Amino acid sequence: MAGGVVLVQGASRGLGLHFCKHILTARKEASVIATCRSPEAASALQALQRLYPQNLTVLRLDATREAEIREAAEVVAKEHGRLDLLINCGAMLHPSGRGETSLQEVSAEGLSITLATNTIGPLVMAKYFAPLLWKGIGAFGHQFADQAKQHRAILVNLTAKVGSIGDNALGGWYSYRMSKAALNMATKNLSIELGRGKTKVVCVSLHPGTVNTDLSKPYHRNVPKDKLFTPEYSVNCLMNIIENLDMGKTGKFFAWDGSALPW
């Protein structure tokens, strides 16, 4: 399908911004809702809106504020009546900008702020936007011939490989690792609840790789050049996965290259 209604949460920069660019370029009839905390300060997003004034809407939304999420869902319901793809991109490494390297660096404040942004926010987004996802028209992904196995919409939580419990051999980064592991559990729970009944939603966790964004910037020197991806490359890979999702893949954790990752 050429169109589709998409919401990208955390779209002012990085992967969120490039998801908007990719979809607007690839799907000329798509309607994209981009959300961020401070639209007035999101210069790159404002520039993109000037290029696509009919297709791109920017909404103020802080994913740690439930009232703002509810208000955004009401706006989308009124203007579009449905949602075909929800991508939760907003995330933070730690309030300090660096992950904890030892237990002595852990603080209750750091944990709570990171979890609020990386885990609670995406789950509350799902709460308020699920009714719109159930009304989707299946504009993204691959549909089974059997109508009973077809989906209405797709929900994507951007996670990280370091959120894998089974893959953790280095330790550290308590707040970030815990927040992404918890987000993965939320994705799994959502895949079960939103996969019941006649109207189904595919729910997946996707790992974008190590991407050249502000979040990973403090650690770029430790990443081989061929493993540090541009946002454009990562988004291209992730959209390829999204376009091939179906109900047989819901509740899964995939890397940028399509490989399954352990929980």
> For position 3, what pLDDT does the model report?
85
Mean of pLDDT values over 156-164: 97
pLDDT band at 232 (very low <50, low <70, confident <90, very high): very high
> For position 220, what pLDDT does the model report?
57
Nearest-CA neighbor of 186 among 109, 256, 127? 127
Residues 175-221: pLDDT tens digits?
A: 999 999 999 999 999 999 999 999 999 999 999 998 877 665 565 56
Domains contained in the chain, CATH given? 5-254 (3.40.50.720)
Q: What is the DSSP string of 121-153?
A: HHHHHHHHHHHHHTT----SS---SSGGG--SE
| Residue 128 pLDDT exceeds 90 | yes
Q: pTM for the complete prediction?
A: 0.94
Nearest-CA neighbor of 158 among 191, 125, 187? 187
| Residue 135 pLDDT exceeds 70 | yes
Contact criterion met (CB below 8 Å) for 263 and 254? no
